[in-house]
Structure 1
Amino acid sequence: MTLRFGLVLPIQSIGDDIPTLVDQLRAEVQAAEAAGFDAVFLTEFHQARGGALVSPLLVGAGLLAGTSRIRFGTAVVPTPLHHPVRLAEDVVMLDHMSRGRVILGLGIGHQPPDFRLFGVDRSARVSRTEEAIAVLEQCFSGQPFSHSGEHFEVTGQVTPAPYTAPRPPIWMGAHSAPGLDRSARLADLWLCDPERHIDVVARLAEQYRARCAVHGTTPRVGLFREAWIADSAAECEAEWAPHAMQVHRLYYNVGVYLEEFEPWVTQVQSREDFTLDLLGPGRFLYGSPDEVRATVTEWVGKTGAEYLALRLRHPGGPGHDATLSAIRRFGAEVIGPLGAGVVSP
């Protein structure tokens, strides 16, 4: 299967207000389409300090304006925070508006403050997610249905039916054994998170494939990675890596790095211990075009991934102009040479 590339967009930009950021992202989406990226993605976070883009499907509808090919996806929606009927209707509308260019990425959510904000019991996030997906599937059928469950009582019909038949693709982010099984049962692609080392991702991918075999589903693996391209790795480390590290320090602080996957977490006692040398290898895709292509080929060989969702820009920088240049360079020097040349096993 041919390798495809997606672009994960930032939800904040230090020094830019929300209208300016949206204008910049619209230009970056158009550049990504011209460069050969398959899709662009937005994450969903709430209560970000200083404000950030929320309601990714709404924002995505605006970002697709002026494009004709590139898709938009969520990477990922915290499913328990959404009523499945409302989520289904939003997805269906974007599916029609874009003529079939929407990907629904789902996860179980993480941040306790967000569950409090939405008034949702975090301890029930797994059962609520599973039930919400069951309701989503019935919503996407375009047929009348009735659902009576632990979390949702729904009777009716979501119209219109999706533009995409039988429904837009559903991707799932997960790293636990139950999450991998859920991805194998209910999703069209498993998307790994950006925190796990590529060797860990390879092991998780094997577990996911084993569950797909049990459930009789087709395994499809996607990688969410931080990425940048320049004339040298040293240039990337000087101009881009500090900002990627800042985002991952936040991840570390909120408990996303886990000892079962990253045994070193108990050894990190200060900011000085959390270094690029510790974190970058196996997680950050950067360097010269030759280095980036070689790393992509290595990672695809290890994981069998057919999709790379790359986040180039972070809130602190590099900024819009540099990101546009990097998008174009990825298109010309990575996607062009590799898009038709690297095939997943």
Structure 2
Amino acid sequence: MSKPRLSFGLWYSLRNPAQWARPYPELYAQTLRQIAWAETIGYDDVWLTEHHFCEDGHAPSILPLCAAVAARTTRIRIGTSVLLLPLYHPVRVAEDAATIDILSNGRFELGVGVGYRPQEFKGLGLRPQDRGARMDEGLEIIRALWRGETVDYHGQHFQIEGAKLAPMPVQTPPPLWIGGFAPASAKRAARIGDGYLGTGEMGDLLKVYREERARLGHAGPGRAIGGHFWLVVSKNPAQTLANLGPHVLYQIEMYNKWLGEAGQALFPAVESPAQLVAMGILQILTPPAAIDAIAAYVAATGIERYYTWTVPPGYPEGKMDEHLQLFAEEVMPAFR
């Protein structure tokens, strides 16, 4: 049976935990080097994610990073997964996204989410309970600006008079993805987005997404779904687990803490790297097994864009090159 066709991407958070800390200029330079190299071995897109006020330096400002990627690459598509749109003024997001699209000659994709950490809103003088309304208003404004309209907008959160985007993006318009872990995000993606960005099995959320599309008269294929599970390809899985395990465990523990505080627990509690594997949260597989795992994931979710959490927090980018090359050479061709 032939395998589904997929595009393959890399996902970065640029976390720098104290126990493995490096100078930030070194971390950022090595990340940009790896992205430029990954383009040469066949990866299709790169996704950058943001959070704010994190002790481990999780990337807080990803649009400048996207511009840096654009300057160092020629083919790979560049996306945000996700930009926390309610934290921003939408006119500036529309302008910055258009600028990155110009710098990249039409390779930018804007993925947005509502956010879930109260401190990120409070630290910027915003109310967490306003995030859904700010998201909806922001999306409406960005869409209108990207259509070339002169925008007069009088909403609950944004008051705009005579805004018109110039210069316009190369794409007409850039793809707009909606991401999130809650039913409201899945519905918003079905209603407004060009695609839905999720993580893991996404079972109930995909059901909500597709039901909402059907309710709106958009049944059947037509909007893309992007997703991932934490997969590392290795010819020596036991050794790779020993090397990577503590770093992946750190990442899972941090997301469990954040999402648990928001009432959106994503993973069960884990105490060791071995548990990550036993519970299926982390899969370290040989190339043939990885092909089967991705094919099964596509069959379960219908994704068209597969991306991977590229570098576990604190793990040197150079040490991941071997796994990324193995994935590109022995896994990706099965889905081309």
State the TM-score, normalizing by the size of structure 1.
Answer: 0.88
The 1-side partners of 2:245 and 2:141 are apart by 41
Q: Distance in 2 between matches of 1:8 and 1:292?
A: 18
Residue equivalent to 1:131: 137
Q: Secondary structure at the match of 2:57?
A: coil
- Aligned residues of 2:233 and 2:326 also touching (Cα < 8 A): yes
Task: Specify the alignment match of 1:239 in structure 2.
Answer: 243
My pick for the range that moved more, 126-135 or 137-146, is 137-146
- For residues 17-166 of structure 1, the aligned pairs below 5 Å read 17-155=23-161, 156-165=163-172
Residue type matched to 2:70 in 1?
L
- For the aligned residue pairs, the C-alpha RMSD in angstroms reads 2.2
Q: Which ranges in structure 2 are unaligned for 5 or more consecutive residues? A: none
Distance in structure 2 (CA, Å) of the matches to 1:152 and 1:99? 30
Letter of the 1:19 partner, please give it. Answer: P
One-letter amino acid matched to 1:325: E
TM-fit CA distance, 1:279: 6.8
CA shift for structure 1 position 49: 0.9
CA shift digits 1:285-320 (9 cap, x unpaired): 421111211110110111111111101212221x12
By relative contact order (CA 8 Å, sep 6+), the higher-ranking structure is 1
Matched, 1:223 2:247: no
Alignment partner of 1:37: what SS?
A: coil
Partners of 1:229 and 1:236 within 8 A in 2: no
Say whether residues 1:331 and 2:328 are aligned partners.
yes
Checking the alignment, whether the CA contact within 8 Å between 1:285 and 1:295 is kept in structure 2 is no
Question: In the TM superposition, what whole-angstrom CA distance separates every residue of 1:53-75 from its partner, at most 9, and x where no partner exists?
Answer: 32111111112323110011111
Deviation sequence 1:131-171 (CA, Å, 0-9, x none): 11001111111221211111101122111122101x11011
CA contact (8 A) 2:246 2:273 kept: no
CA distance in 1, matches of 2:195, 2:278: 25
| Cα distance change of structure 1 residues 281 and 294 upon mapping to structure 2, 3 Å threshold | farther
Whole-angstrom distance in 2 between the partners of 1:259 and 1:111: 10
Letter in 2 for 1:335: M
Counterpart for residue 293 of structure 1: 291
* Residue in structure 1 matching 2:9, options 6, 14, 23: 6
Instruction: Give the share of equivalent positions with the same residue, in percent.
Output: 28
Asked whether the equivalents of residues 92 and 160 of structure 1 are also in contact (C-alpha less than 8 Å), the reply is yes
Q: Aligned pairs, how many?
A: 326
Q: TM-score, with normalisation over the residues of structure 2?
A: 0.90
CA contact (8 A) 1:25 1:63 kept: no
Structure 1 runs (4+) greater than 4 angstroms displaced: 256-262, 278-282
Q: In the alignment, does 2:190 pair up with 1:189?
A: no
Structure 2 Cα separation of the partners of residues 223 and 87 of structure 1:
24
The alpha-carbon deviation at position 12 of structure 1 amounts to: 2.4
Paired position in structure 1 for 2:314? 316
Q: Secondary structure at the match of 1:308?
A: strand
Q: Note the alpha carbon deviations across 1:224-246, whole angstroms, 9 max, x for none.
A: 33232211332332121321111
Assess if the C-alpha contact under 8 Å between 1:174 and 1:183 holds in 2.
no
- SS state at 1:240 partner: helix
1:205 aligned partner: 206
Name the CA distance, whole Å, in 1 between partners of 2:263 and 2:121.
24
Cα shift at 1:259 = 7.5
1:280, distance to aligned residue in structure 2 (A): 6.0
1:256/1:138 Cα in 2 relative to 1: closer, same or farther (>3 Å)? farther
Q: How far apart are 1:282 and its partner, in Å?
A: 4.5
